[in-house]
Amino acid sequence: MTEITFCLSREEFAQQFTALPEHEAWGALQTGNGRIAAESPLARIHRLGGSDDHEPAFALTAAEPTHTLCTVTPQAGAAESHTAYTVHDGSGRFIGRIIHERSPLGIRQAWRIEDAAKQYSAVA
């Protein structure tokens, strides 16, 4: 099995790009272990202005040229036992969900990513 590690950086990198309209520059996504090279992110993360701190909404854009890769927004009507987010591609087409819940024993946090057809999923 191949494992890929991603990290989010919110420190200095968010100050280095202009946010999308109605968003704030929030950070960057890159492969690695937490030491991010600000000059080569996989994506820039824009947080929707005014979104709830508990359930924020984000847009990810490519670095250059700037275009929206996907949007991540809280899913209305999710079960109380978990938080779900819908993911749409840059043209607005639904491509999957991200679910945040507790592990089966309730000890740890768990994340699951499902594609739109629920044929593939990843768990962390």
Instruction: State pTM to two decimals.
Output: 0.75
Kind of pairing between the strands at 94-102 and 83-89: antiparallel
What confidence score (pLDDT) does residue 89 get?
93
CA distance to 4, 28, 121, per residue, from 7 (Å): 10, 8, 20
**pLDDT tens per residue, range 17-68:** 888 888 888 888 877 665 555 556 788 888 888 887 777 788 988 876 678 8
